[in-house]
A = this chain, B = another copy of it.
Amino acid sequence: MPITAYSGGTSLEGQFRSSPVGGICIDMGGMNKILEIHEEDSDLVCQPGAGWMDINDTLKEKGLQLFFPLDPAPSATIGGMLSNGCSGTNAVRYGTAKAEWFLNATVVLPSGEVIKTRRRARKSSAGFDTTKLFIGAEGTLGIVTEVTIRLAPLLPTTVAVVHFPDVRKAAAAVREILNRGVGIECVELVDNEFMRATNLVHAPAPPRYPELDSLFFKLQGPTPASLAETARIVKEVVSKPEYGGSGWKLAKNDEEAADIWMDRKNAHYAGLALLPGARGWATDVCVPISKLPDLVYETKKDIKDSGLTSHIVGHVGDGNFHALLLFRDDAELAVVRDVVHRMVERAIALDGTCTGEHGVGMGKKEYLYEELGEGTVELMKAIKRTIDPLNLFNPGKLYPEEKDSKHPRP
């Protein structure tokens, strides 16, 4: 009997919750306890249904200056984040789920055996990293029942926003800023359409932002002096004539910082304001960062030529962006599918990936042979067959069938 476990939502929520071949769906959402907090070790043991925002709220309530820095969608849970290999706006500073935030996982294998991948030390060279096998496996190799996560010090932050003549100049400024090594927790690229959508959300108030390609920064530093120095350096860089940043706005206090950052976080709902009655399809390609401007330009041209409405939000420090493509009916949905297909092909041709952080699920299986090559996909499938020979766990996800492949094997 096929078994699909899920707990709360990541971006893949819908995909995790449904099984294309029927069978049992196990809701792990009730296993949402924090089991141990080790303040002195900056780690925490919890169940898979615990939400990252709830964990961070709990740490705050206890007065601990620690937080879990992976920040996907607000409803995401630790089990889903692990299984998805998630990231988010903080990845430019803290890396993704595939870094070292998951110290170990307790996993029920398809055989019924329960294993714990590692102990609680921060580092280990005791063999290859079995924790990582389950990160990004989308529940196909095991059901996660307990996780030890590493925490980071919670630092003072502030927020700034600045506007650019175009995406290329914004991306170039980001590169210089990151290479300066100042305290950047997040740097988010948004396009003119995003700004238009955000102004619509705030209407009938006067437009909050110029409708230009822009960057939202979350700056961090251990002291007010270092935070002020970071802001000064970032402002200095973006204002260079070669980048042409304008309208620099630094939050005056925590309330204003939260207010500005909320505009960025509200991207999905703001986007829907661009086309009343529409639904949105969020894309997720990722490329080497030098390729990002070309990809954004070609994609925006394709979107325009296709007659679609869209905005773009990008984790520009990682080369990952999301276009929100709007559609109102099946005809427009078909156009969206074509645009997405071309975008993925374009990203792969630029040495990129079909999914920077949202996962494969069912929708992107068809691209894996092209992106990773036959040998790498067959390696994944061989490991899947070894661990789950009866194909019990979350069948139909992640691993492309040969029939789906553009490069069918003989």
Contact = CB atoms under 8 A, between A and B. Distances in A.
A222 interface: yes
Nearest to A352: B121
A181 interface: yes
Given A116-B373, A229-B225, A123 B398 contact: no
Nearest to A225: B229
A91 to B, nearest CB: 7
Interface string A98-125: 1110000000010001111111111111
A49 interface: no
Interface residues of A, number: 99
A65 interface: yes
Contacts of A351: 119-121
Contact of A124 (B115, B133, B353, B398): B353
Contacts of A393: none
A103 to B, nearest CB: 9
Contacts of A258: none
A134 to B, nearest CB: 7
Interface string A350-363: 01111111111000
A367 B348 CA distance: 43
Contact of A119 (B96, B180, B353): B353
A136 B129 contact: yes
Contacts of A398: 127
Contact of A125 (B86, B182, B315): B86
Contacts of A91: 123
A71 to B, nearest CB: 14
A46 interface: no
Contacts of A356: 121, 123-125
Nearest to A287: B121
Given A115-B373, A123-B318, A129-B136, 12 more contacts: A85-B125, A121-B287, A121-B347, A125-B284, A126-B355, A127-B399, A128-B380, A132-B132, A133-B133, A153-B178, A225-B225, A383-B386
Interface of A: 38, 40-43, 65-66, 84-87, 91, 95-96, 98-100, 109, 113-130, 132-137, 141, 153, 155, 175, 178-182, 220-223, 225-226, 229, 233, 284, 286-290, 315, 318-320, 347-348, 351-360, 364, 367-368, 371-373, 375-377, 379-380, 382-383, 385-387, 398-399
